[in-house]
Amino acid sequence: MKIDKKYLLIGSMAIVGILWILTGQLSNEDVNNDLSTMAITESGLDDSSGEDPIFLVRGVRSKAEERTLYLDVRSQTRANRIVRVKAEISGKIVALPGEKGTEVKQGDLLCRIAIDARQDEYNEAQAAVISAEIEYDGFVDLNKKGLQSEVLLAKAMAMLEQSKTRATKAALALEHTRLRAPFDGVVASQEVEEGDFLTPGTSCVSLMELDPILVTGQVAEKNINRIVLDDEVVITLFTGEEYSGKVSFIGHAPDQMTRTFPIEVTLANPGMTIRTGLTAAMRVPIGVENVHLISPASLVLNNVGIVGVRVMDDRNRVRFMAVEIIEESLAGVLVKGLPNEINLITIGQEEVVEGQEINMEYSSLTDLVHR
């Protein structure tokens, strides 16, 4: 079978063209590979050297500063004392000036019990004293003249003293018909009504002392020994009002349920404007320590979940240091547990590992805490 020369020519040209194209592509790939190899070698990024690249981080040279540390304690206002004013004699109530909610001064009348025969008994006792004094004076005169024995004189003196004792008891019984406020305060409750009969020990009213007023809270056992009597404490009420008082009591026995210790702060309350039972917050000083002010973004967790920061040591190596957060504010976080001066990593701390060599570009502390 004869093949047309025209077709043979066309086929040969096609084969030559395909071979030429393939040869050009292979040459370009070789050239590109050679150029890439040169670029890597010249830039120093060839991994064949076996050295890790030095990572660049940003940081700050942080210096510790001495600060007073404070403990925030949830608290509540409470009356300085509450006293139940009780009767010491029996009788019917004829007046109740100290109604519930009344503000009273020391010595103000709260309840009045019927006098009944007590005034007459007092008058009689006073008369008996006068009579006994006259009789005793007569015995003294006679004794001076030798007309009265020492025995009769002693008996007269004893009678006079007995009369005075009865008069004192009668005066007290008369005074006890009036139940008075033992201190300035507010009548918290009124247990009886006018016309009720009181017996000794029966309560008439309960009286609260609100000036000064107490603010009470509970403190964990790890902090209780850091609180000092008479330390100045800032009290902030739920309403936002701020007051200043002093630590007046630190408990020695914990609450059996919470294992926390009670503390009390005494607060001046002129006009008794602060009520009892108000929610408040104590800001209690617990000592002075060297702390660092850092950005909360600088805090990291290590492999076991401990809170800390990453720093650069003297050999430009990464080190993790555990910290204790003392206080948080808009300015940043106060932490303790660090050396006085550190190279704190602020950007890139999550990208580096313990012992890694780094370079640090320093930032200002102002930029850090506001970042």
User: What does the pLDDT look like over 320-357, one tens digit per residue?
Assistant: 999 999 888 888 999 999 999 999 999 999 999 999 99
Residue 40 scores a pLDDT above 70: no
Q: What is the percent of the chain where pLDDT is above 90?
A: 55
Nearest alpha carbon to residue 254 among 218, 216, 215, 217: 218
pLDDT of residue 4: 53
Burial of 32: CB neighbours in 10 Å, binned 0-12, 13-18, 19+: exposed
Over residues 198-215, the pLDDT tens digits come to 999 999 999 999 999 999
Round to whole Å and give the CA distance between 15 and 26.
Answer: 17
Give kind and range of the element (H or E) at residue 86.
strand 65-86
Residue 61 identity (one-letter amino acid): R
> CA-CA-CA-CA torsion for 164, 166, 171, 176, nearest 10 degrees?
140
| pLDDT, the chain, mean | 83
- Token pair listed for 2: 């004869």
Q: What distances in angstroms separate CA 370 from CA 293, 333, 346, one per listed residue?
A: 11, 11, 12
How many C-beta neighbours within 10 Å does residue 162 have?
A: 13
Over residues 55-102, the pLDDT tens digits come to 999 999 999 999 888 889 999 999 999 999 999 999 999 999 988 888
As beta bridge partners, residue 69 has none
The CATH number of 71-77+210-287 is 2.40.30.170
pLDDT of residue 148: 67
- Token pair listed for 181: 């406020």
- pLDDT-derived band at 42 (thresholds 50, 70, 90) equals very low
Residue 37 scores a pLDDT above 80: no
Q: What distances in angstroms separate CA 355 from CA 52, 74, 230, 319, one per listed residue?
A: 12, 43, 49, 6
Residue 132 scores a pLDDT above 60: yes
- pLDDT-derived band at 14 (thresholds 50, 70, 90) equals low
- Token pair listed for 156: 């007269």
Instruction: Check if CATH label 2.40.420.20 holds for domain 55-67+290-369.
Output: yes
Round to whole Å and give the CA distance between 134 and 148.
Answer: 15
DSSP-based three-state secondary structure for 280: strand
Residue showing tokens 């800001």: 283
Please enumerate in sequence order all residues whose Cβ is within 8 A of that of 150, keeping only pairs 6 or more positions apart, or say none: 143
pLDDT of residue 18: 60
Residue 33 scores a pLDDT above 60: no
Whether the CA torsion 301, 305, 307, 312 is positive or negative: it is: negative
The terminus-to-terminus CA distance of the chain in angstroms comes to: 89
Residue 371 scores a pLDDT above 70: no
Residue 16 scores a pLDDT above 80: no
Residue 11 scores a pLDDT above 90: no
Burial of 369: CB neighbours in 10 Å, binned 0-12, 13-18, 19+: buried
Mean pLDDT of 104-119: 91
**Spans of all domains in the chain:** 55-67+290-369, 71-77+210-287, 83-204
pLDDT of residue 12: 58
Give kind and range of the element (H or E) at residue 25.
helix 5-43
DSSP structural state of residue 317: B
- With 0.75 as the threshold, say if the pTM is over it: no
Round to whole Å and give the CA distance between 61 and 199.
Answer: 77
Residue showing tokens 């519930």: 100
Query: Cα-flanking dihedrals φ and ψ of residue 175, to 5°?
Result: -70, -35
Please enumerate in sequence order all residues whose Cβ is within 8 A of that of 225, keeping only pairs 6 or more positions apart, or say none: none
Tell me if 310 sits within 8 A of 348, measured CB to CB: no
User: Lowest mean pLDDT: which of 97-106, 149-158, 185-194, 273-282?
Assistant: 149-158
- Token pair listed for 48: 């064949």
pLDDT of residue 129: 84
pLDDT of residue 15: 63
pLDDT of residue 48: 44
pLDDT of residue 140: 77
Nearest alpha carbon to residue 235 among 258, 208, 263: 263
Residue 241 scores a pLDDT above 70: yes
The CATH number of 83-204 is 2.40.50.100
Q: What distances in angstroms separate CA 222 from CA 31, 227, 247, 266, 288, one per listed residue?
A: 73, 11, 18, 23, 16
pLDDT of residue 171: 87
